[in-house]
């Protein structure tokens, strides 16, 4: 799934990329299968199971998702569309933060995403051809990509710590603790940024300065939301994704995709120090 059509801000690109399984380039490995199987594809597909977001993950669901991608143009899944940011001024910073959180979460709502795909003639035609329900596809994409992102973060943690082979229960506990600590660090970072922004906005400032600081806040908010999802990931979901790593690897982001997120998490509370300068014209 390409990055085109996702939010323009780097932070939203990063979070959306990790959460909905986008790729940065066409998936040639999958596209090759589609050339061979495009005729009569629907009858050969494993049906997506009817599941809710928090239901146990299964290998059958992962295999069905990959098979669908194989039959779509470019060997890729549909893009997750983004909620358009409102440009109106809010009465308070707290109101702005609440709206941004809501926009981020609504952008990952499977029902909303399914409606966007139904309105896209090309996507709707392809999903109809494969007899794939748009909403169930959106549910499965989000379920699998959340688990995949958590899996990549766990891998990076073990590499960074030089983890030897340990008891699975100990490894799971260590990963859960790390995910919770990541979330707590980001929430502290967000609190520091909000304090600074309140002080900044109490003084005279240009529209450009305001936009730059709000963009920095958007970045942290997106990372907090991503960290919250990873911190609540069931161990069973991670185990299934780990078992199916090679199957999913061509379709979902690589470990390098989480590097920026990890760097953002491990850094000290970063606050954009807006100067009095304006961008060059």
Which DSSP string corresponds to the chain? --STTS-SSHHHHHHHHHHTT--SS--HHHHHHHHHH-TT-GGGSPPPP---TTSPP-HHHHHHHHHHHHHSGGG-PPPPP-PPPP-SPPSSHHHHHHHHHHHHHHHT-HHHHHHHHHH-HHHHHHHHHTT--HHHHHHHHHHHHHHHHHHHHHHHHHHHHTPPS--HHHHHHHHHHHHHHHHHHHHHHHHHHHHHHHHHHTS---HHHHHHHHHHHHHHHHHHHHHHHHHT--HHHHHHHHHTHHHHTTTS--GGGGHHHHHHHHS--------S-----
Lowest-pLDDT choice from 42-46, 72-76, 146-150: 42-46
Question: What mean pLDDT do residues 117-146 have?
Answer: 95
Q: Encode 27-73 in three state secondary structure.
A: CHHHHHHHHHHCCCCHHHCCCCCCCCCCCCCCHHHHHHHHHHHHHCH
Q: What is the pLDDT of residue 176?
A: 58
Distance CA 144, CA 137 (A): 11
Residue 71 has pLDDT above 60, yes or no: yes
Mean pLDDT of the chain: 74
Question: What mean pLDDT do residues 228-253 have?
Answer: 89
Closest CA to 107 of 217, 230, 218, 258: 218
Residue 31, judged by CB atoms within 10 A of its CB (0-12, 13-18, 19+), counts as middle
pTM check: above 0.95: no
Residue 131 has pLDDT above 90, yes or no: yes
Domain ranges of the chain: 10-79+92-165+238-256
Give the pLDDT confidence of 19-31 residue by residue, as tens digits: 665 443 444 444 4
* More confident: 254 or 139: 139
Token pair of 142, please?
């989000």
Question: What mean pLDDT do residues 114-123 have?
Answer: 95
**Model confidence band, residue 114 (pLDDT cutoffs 50, 70, 90):** very high
Give the pLDDT confidence of 168-217 residue by residue, as tens digits: 444 444 455 677 887 888 888 888 888 888 877 777 666 777 778 888 88
């Amino acid at each position: 799934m390409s990055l085109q059509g996702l939010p323009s801000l780097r932070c939203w690109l990063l979070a959306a990329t990790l959460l909905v399984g986008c790729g940065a380039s066409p998936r040639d490995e999958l596209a090759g299968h589609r050339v061979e199987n495009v005729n009569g594809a629907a009858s050969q597909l494993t049906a997506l199971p009817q599941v809710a977001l928090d239901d146990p993950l299964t290998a059958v669901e992962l295999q069905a998702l990959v098979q669908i991608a194989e039959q779509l143009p470019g060997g890729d899944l549909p893009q997750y569309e983004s909620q358009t940011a409102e440009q109106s001024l809010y009465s308070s910073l707290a109101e702005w933060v609440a709206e941004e959180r809501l926009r981020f979460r609504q952008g990952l709502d499977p029902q909303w995403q399914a409606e966007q795909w139904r309105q896209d003639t090309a996507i709707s035609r392809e999903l109809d051809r494969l007899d794939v329900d748009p909403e169930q596809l959106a549910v499965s994409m989000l379920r699998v990509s959340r688990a995949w992102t958590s899996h990549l973060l766990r891998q990076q943690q073990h590499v960074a710590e030089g983890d030897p082979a340990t008891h699975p229960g100990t490894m799971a506990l260590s990963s859960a603790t790390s995910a919770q600590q990541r979330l707590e660090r980001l929430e502290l970072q967000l609190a520091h940024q909000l304090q600074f922004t309140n002080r900044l906005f109490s003084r005279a400032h240009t529209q450009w300065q305001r936009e730059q600081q709000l963009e920095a806040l958007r970045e942290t908010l997106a990372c907090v939301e991503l960290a919250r999802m990873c911190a609540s990931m069931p161990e069973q979901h991670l185990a299934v994704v780990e078992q199916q790593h090679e199957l999913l690897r061509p379709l979902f982001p690589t470990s390098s995709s989480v590097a920026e997120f990890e760097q953002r998490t491990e850094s000290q509370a970063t606050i954009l120090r807006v100067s009095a300068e304006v961008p060059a014209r």
